[in-house]
Amino acid sequence: MIGDEISITILSVESSGQVNIGVSAPKDVLILRSELQKAASINQNAADTAPALLVAELESVLAEHTAPLAEKQMPEP
């Protein structure tokens, strides 16, 4: 038991050493595996980034990559 409301049960142990567990908790308690927690954190950080900064960075990158193309396509006088 973890606290009064969360219990962890070992469901099986594989010959490879993998352990399968079950978690029982109230619906209002968020239970995430570590890799899902990390992904959620990365997504939240990306969502918190100011859109104006992303647009400015995208415009800068596009300008860098399209300028050489425009120079190549210009006819010589």
For the stretch 43-76, pLDDT in tens is 887 777 767 777 888 888 888 877 665 565 656 6
Residue 59, domain member (yes or no): yes
Residue 57, domain member (yes or no): yes
What confidence score (pLDDT) does residue 71 get? 60
Quick one: which H or E segment has residue 19?
strand 19-24
Q: Is the pLDDT of residue 23 over 80?
A: yes
CA distances from 7 to 20, 61, 70 (A): 14, 51, 64
Going by pLDDT thresholds of 50, 70 and 90, the confidence category of residue 19 is very high
What confidence score (pLDDT) does residue 53 get? 77
Residue 13, domain member (yes or no): no
Contact, 13 vs 19, CB < 8 A? yes
How many domains are contained in the chain? 1
Residue 56, domain member (yes or no): yes
Residue 70, domain member (yes or no): yes
Residue 5, domain member (yes or no): no
CA distances from 46 to 13, 39, 40, 50, 51 (A): 37, 11, 10, 9, 10
Cβ atoms within 10 A of the Cβ of 8, count?
Answer: 13
What confidence score (pLDDT) does residue 9 get? 94
Structural domain boundaries, residue 76: 33-77
